[in-house]
Structure 1
Amino acid sequence: MSHDVKQMIENGETVLGIELGSTRIKSVLIGANHEPIASGSHDWENSYVDNIWTYSLDDIWSGLQDSYQNLVADVKKQYDVKLQTIGAIGFSGMMHGYMAFNKDEELLVPFRTWRNNITEEASKALTELFNYNIPQRWSIAHLYQAILNKEDHVSEIDFQTTLAGYIHWQLTGEKVLGVGEASGVFPIDLETKSFNQNMINQFNEQVASRNFAWKLEDILPEVLVAGEDAGTLTAEGAKLLDVSGELQSGIPLCPPEGDAGTGMVATNSVAKRTGNVSAGTSAFAMVVLEKDLSKVYPEIDLVTTPTGNLVAMAHSNNCTSDLNAWVGLFGEFSKAIGADVDADTLFSTLFHQALKGDADGGGLLSYGYLSGEHMTHFEEGRPLFARSSESQFTLANFMRTHLFTAFGAMKIGMDILLKEENVKLDEVLGHGGIFKTEGVAQSLLAGAFDTPVSVMETAGEGGAWGIALLGAYLKHQKQGQTLEAYLNENVFGNQSVKTINPDPEDVQGFEQFMARYKKGLSIERAAVDNL
Structure 2
Amino acid sequence: MTVKDKILQGRTYLGIELGSTRIKAVLIDDSFSVIASGSKQWENRFENGCWTYSLDDIHGGIQACYKDLAENVKAQYGIYPETYGAMGISAMMHGYMAFDKNDKLLVPFRTWRNTMTAQAAGELTKLLGFNIPQRWSIAHLYQAVLNKESHVPYIAYINTLAGYVHKRLTDRFEVGVGEASGIFPVEGIGYKKEYCEPTEKSLAEKGFDHKLKDILPAVRNAGEKGAVLTEEGARFLDPEGRLKAGVPVCPPEGDAGTGMVATDSVLKKTGNISAGTSIFAMLVLEKPLNGVYEEIDVVTTPDGSPVAMVHCNNCCSELDAWVNMFGEFAKLTGNEIDKSRLYETLYKNAMTADSSCGGVTAYNCLSGEPVIKLDEGRPMYFRTPDSTLTLGSFFRAQLYSSFTALKIGMDILFDREQVKAEKITGHGGLFKVSGVASQLMADALSTPVSVMKTAGEGGAWGMAILAAYMELSNGEKLADFLDKKVFADMEVTTSQPEQTGSEGYKTFLERYKKGLAAEKNAQF
Greater mean deviation of Cα atoms: 507-516 or 459-468: 507-516
Q: Counterpart of 1:494? A: 489
Aligned-partner SS, 2:424? strand
**Is the Cα–Cα contact under 8 Å of residues 176 and 230 in structure 1 kept in the other structure?**
no
Aligned-partner SS, 1:73? helix
| CA deviation vs aligned residue, 1:319-367 (integer Å, no higher than 9, x gap) | 3455556667777888999998766666555544554555544555443
Q: Counterpart of 1:133? A: 131
Aligned-partner SS, 1:62? helix
| CA deviation vs aligned residue, 1:14-69 (integer Å, no higher than 9, x gap) | 11112222333322221111122223333334445544443333443333333323
1:171 and 2:174 aligned: no
1:254 and 2:250 aligned: yes
Q: Counterpart of 2:232? A: 236
| CA deviation vs aligned residue, 1:468-514 (integer Å, no higher than 9, x gap) | 110000010133x2212211221122221111222244334433332
* Aligned with 1:116 (options 114, 117, 120): 114
Of all paired residues, the percent bearing the same amino acid is 52
Measure, in 1, the Cα distance between the counterparts of 2:440 and 2:109.
Answer: 40
Amino acid corresponding to residue 267 of structure 1 in structure 2: T
- CA shift at 1:10, angstroms? 1.5
* Aligned with 2:421 (options 414, 425, 432): 425
**Is the Cα–Cα contact under 8 Å of residues 384 and 524 in structure 1 kept in the other structure?**
no
Greater mean deviation of Cα atoms: 470-479 or 378-387: 378-387
**Is the Cα–Cα contact under 8 Å of residues 155 and 212 in structure 1 kept in the other structure?**
yes
| CA deviation vs aligned residue, 1:178-202 (integer Å, no higher than 9, x gap) | 011111111111xx22111111101
> Over the residues paired in the alignment, what is the CA RMSD in angstroms?
2.9
Aligned-partner SS, 2:108? coil
Q: Counterpart of 1:5? A: 3
Measure, in 2, the Cα distance between the counterparts of 1:106 and 1:402.
Answer: 42
| CA deviation vs aligned residue, 1:162-189 (integer Å, no higher than 9, x gap) | 1211222232232211011111111111
| Mapping of residues 257-406 of structure 1, within 5 Å | 257-323=253-319, 347-348=343-344, 351-378=347-374, 379-387=376-384, 389=386, 400-406=396-402
Q: Counterpart of 1:79? A: 77
Amino acid corresponding to residue 24 of structure 1 in structure 2: R
TM-score normalized by structure 1?
0.89
Q: Counterpart of 1:513? A: 508
Q: Counterpart of 1:459? A: 455
**Is the Cα–Cα contact under 8 Å of residues 155 and 213 in structure 1 kept in the other structure?**
no
Aligned-partner SS, 1:515? helix
Measure, in 1, the Cα distance between the counterparts of 2:6 and 2:25.
Answer: 18
Measure, in 1, the Cα distance between the counterparts of 2:89 and 2:324.
Answer: 36
Measure, in 1, the Cα distance between the counterparts of 2:189 and 2:66.
Answer: 32
**Is the Cα–Cα contact under 8 Å of residues 224 and 230 in structure 1 kept in the other structure?**
no
**How many residue pairs align between the two structures?**
523
> Does the C-alpha gap of structure 1 residues 169 and 500 become closer, same or farther in structure 2, counting only changes over 3 Å?
same
- CA shift at 1:254, angstroms? 0.6
**Is the Cα–Cα contact under 8 Å of residues 28 and 465 in structure 1 kept in the other structure?**
yes
Measure, in 2, the Cα distance between the counterparts of 1:244 and 1:325.
Answer: 36
Aligned-partner SS, 2:244? coil
> Does the C-alpha gap of structure 1 residues 407 and 109 become closer, same or farther in structure 2, counting only changes over 3 Å?
closer
Amino acid corresponding to residue 29 of structure 1 in structure 2: L
Measure, in 1, the Cα distance between the counterparts of 2:140 and 2:281.
Answer: 24
Measure, in 2, the Cα distance between the counterparts of 1:345 and 1:306.
Answer: 36
Amino acid corresponding to residue 16 of structure 1 in structure 2: L
**Is the Cα–Cα contact under 8 Å of residues 373 and 381 in structure 1 kept in the other structure?**
no
> Does the C-alpha gap of structure 1 residues 440 and 96 become closer, same or farther in structure 2, counting only changes over 3 Å?
closer
Amino acid corresponding to residue 524 of structure 1 in structure 2: E
**Is the Cα–Cα contact under 8 Å of residues 286 and 312 in structure 1 kept in the other structure?**
yes
Greater mean deviation of Cα atoms: 463-472 or 122-131: 122-131
Measure, in 2, the Cα distance between the counterparts of 1:429 and 1:506.
Answer: 19
Measure, in 2, the Cα distance between the counterparts of 1:450 and 1:210.
Answer: 47
**Is the Cα–Cα contact under 8 Å of residues 12 and 86 in structure 1 kept in the other structure?**
yes
Aligned-partner SS, 1:520? helix
Q: Counterpart of 1:41? A: 39
Measure, in 1, the Cα distance between the counterparts of 2:124 and 2:240.
Answer: 46
Measure, in 2, the Cα distance between the counterparts of 1:252 and 1:500.
Answer: 39
Measure, in 1, the Cα distance between the counterparts of 2:445 and 2:160.
Answer: 33
Measure, in 1, the Cα distance between the counterparts of 2:15 and 2:334.
Answer: 46
| Mapping of residues 16-35 of structure 1, within 5 Å | 16-35=14-33
Q: Counterpart of 1:101? A: 99
1:477 and 2:473 aligned: yes
Structure 2: runs of 5 or more not aligned: none
Aligned-partner SS, 1:468? helix
Structure 1: runs of 5 or more not aligned: none
Measure, in 1, the Cα distance between the counterparts of 2:331 and 2:74.
Answer: 43
**Is the Cα–Cα contact under 8 Å of residues 115 and 368 in structure 2 kept in the other structure?**
no
Greater mean deviation of Cα atoms: 287-296 or 467-476: 287-296
Aligned-partner SS, 2:36? strand
> Does the C-alpha gap of structure 1 residues 364 and 54 become closer, same or farther in structure 2, counting only changes over 3 Å?
closer
Measure, in 1, the Cα distance between the counterparts of 2:15 and 2:298.
Answer: 25
| CA deviation vs aligned residue, 1:362-421 (integer Å, no higher than 9, x gap) | 5554434454433222323241122254x6667765554443333322111111111111
> Does the C-alpha gap of structure 1 residues 369 and 109 become closer, same or farther in structure 2, counting only changes over 3 Å?
closer
Measure, in 2, the Cα distance between the counterparts of 1:158 and 1:120.
Answer: 24
> Does the C-alpha gap of structure 1 residues 514 and 172 become closer, same or farther in structure 2, counting only changes over 3 Å?
same
Measure, in 2, the Cα distance between the counterparts of 1:443 and 1:47.
Answer: 33
- CA shift at 1:463, angstroms? 1.6
* Aligned with 1:186 (options 177, 184, 188): 184
Larger Rg: 1
Measure, in 2, the Cα distance between the counterparts of 1:155 and 1:371.
Answer: 30
Measure, in 2, the Cα distance between the counterparts of 1:396 and 1:83.
Answer: 46
- CA shift at 1:139, angstroms? 0.8
> Does the C-alpha gap of structure 1 residues 159 and 394 become closer, same or farther in structure 2, counting only changes over 3 Å?
closer
Q: Counterpart of 2:218? A: 222
* Aligned with 2:439 (options 432, 440, 443): 443
**Is the Cα–Cα contact under 8 Å of residues 47 and 53 in structure 1 kept in the other structure?**
yes
Amino acid corresponding to residue 73 of structure 2 in structure 1: V
